[in-house]
A and B are shown apart, each in its own frame.
Chain A
């Protein structure tokens, strides 16, 4: 066999090569990850550096003092493993090992090693111990890399897992051979296993670092994506808050309508209660008639409760609740909120609804908020007009449900048409300029379109187009 090849697979030589690689590659990794450096990168590269130093010291056995090439070298290797495991634990956000614990473990390890090495002077036992702890550490790293791969669907982590899995297999193979007694400390140098250890050592020194760079970049991308989604969530949340404030403001301005709506069932309850009382006093009611009247009281109490619940639902702060919404019902129910105001301002509300049951997917409260904003705007504008009509129609055109709300007001000027719906743009002296811009963003969120234009006969025309679900 040529000399070179003997030297290459000679354990000290290969340990020197692996040691050098473990010093250079982590350093390069550390340079490459400049800008992304964190305690995790330092732990991984630092761990590699400790391991490299350990391998070098092992490689120089015979040329340097024994304590350095045995006890100190294994101590360094042990610390290197601890660093890497700690790094992967932090990556997985598992609680980190305490430094005091790590120092304690390292000291215990060195003492045990020293006892086996010098105290017992049993080289086979020492080899078994070294192989065993190497196997345990490699398996721990393998498991952690597998967990990272699974949790973050990271092919880079799986790559690291693969390399460490192979390493663990080879070390375990060596461990089994040592126990079976097929190899001894002396004959190992020439065994096939040594070649495998050499190859796997070189491979892992390079490949695991590439994998680690990939994993760090994965993490960077993940963090950036998270920052972006967090930002979007904050924007979304503030939109919800503004929308809710707008709803509260609308309801405040509609006390007349709400008073009217709530007074209807209360009137029915009071009247029926009085009828029952009078009927009993005068002996005019038969039991079945009395029961009938009591049923009406119950029914109207429930009706009042429904109205209160609806109002509460409308003003409560709530996240988007997507459900099937029947458009005709939504359009009519929302008009109830403004019935009283329409009456006071003598605005006639005319419905022209598609008789079919048309559905859209969306948040009923937010959609009724949009309708309410448009209704209220129209009623306010119509107060100053002679002809006061609000026409609400619902139609199905292809796959779109189109709610059209037009009025007989003066409509918009060209400038207004261009700017209406912008945040804080209002044509009213006391307007905040939020209603229509909120409406627009709500319809956007529903995948629809909110169009503002003028009628042929001059009034304003609002179109809400939403994708139809069943028809």
Chain B
């Protein structure tokens, strides 16, 4: 399962269509809070911690989100999923991103407008 978080539904929808064409299941959310709630829900259903980490294979999200921003979301996810491939997409420049705070390890960046082929290669490289 790949999580997509973007408050712009047009972009979230395109990512979902793309990943589904590649044969991947997706869960789409419009805010970090929504994804965290979804995870909590799954956590309650799951019988063991191993299964929890299995419910998410990768996450793609925007930095500019309503509520907690993408970097805060990445930091929170990293605690639960130390090896989770995370791709942050943003229209911000690198120096602007740095001003947002410390980034957790293993996070990839994509500038908008992004190339889906590159997202695909990053994603599947880390998944394999």
Q: Give me the interface of A with B, judged by CB distance under 8 Å.
A: 256, 259-272, 274-275, 278-279, 282, 284, 293, 296, 299-300, 303, 339-340, 343-346
Contacts and interface: CB of A to CB of B under 8 A. Distances in A.
Contacts of B116: 270-271, 274-275, 278
Contacts of A299: 10
Nearest to B99: A344
B92 A296 contact: no
A344 B18 contact: no
Given A256-B96, A278-B21, A343-B69, A268 B14 contact: yes
Contacts of A270: 113-116
B113 A263 contact: yes
B100 interface: yes
Contacts of A344: 92, 96, 99-100
A337 to B, nearest CB: 14
Contacts of A346: 69, 100-101
A303 B15 CA distance: 19
Contacts of A303: 10
A459 to B, nearest CB: 21
A14 to B, nearest CB: 95
Interface string B10-25: 1101110110010000
A274 B117 contact: yes
A278 B17 CA distance: 11
13 contacts: A259-B92, A264-B8, A264-B10, A264-B11, A267-B113, A268-B8, A274-B116, A278-B21, A278-B116, A296-B10, A339-B64, A343-B92, A343-B100
Contacts of B117: 274
A296 B112 contact: no
Interface in B95-124: 96, 99-101, 112-117
A264 B21 contact: no
Interface in B64-113: 64, 69, 89-93, 96, 99-101, 112-113
A293 B91 contact: no
Contacts of A279: 21
A377 B69 CA distance: 22
Contacts of B112: 260, 263-264, 266-267
A299 B13 CA distance: 13
A269 B113 contact: yes
A45 to B, nearest CB: 77
Most buried by A among B99, B112, B114: B112
A293 B92 contact: no
A51 to B, nearest CB: 84
B63 interface: yes
Given A274-B116, A274-B117, A256 B21 contact: no
A303 B21 CA distance: 26
Given A260-B64, A343-B63, 7 more contacts: A260-B112, A267-B8, A267-B11, A268-B14, A269-B113, A296-B13, A346-B101
B30 to A, nearest CB: 13
Given A256-B93, A260-B92, A272 B99 contact: no
Contact of B15 (A259, A260, A271, A343): A271
A267 B15 CA distance: 10
A294 B12 CA distance: 16
A303 B116 CA distance: 21
Given A274-B115, A343-B69, A344-B96, A263 B91 contact: yes
A256 B92 contact: yes
Contacts of A340: 64, 91-92, 96
Contacts of A278: 18, 21, 116
Contact of B21 (A259, A269, A275, A300): A275
Contacts of B96: 256, 340, 344
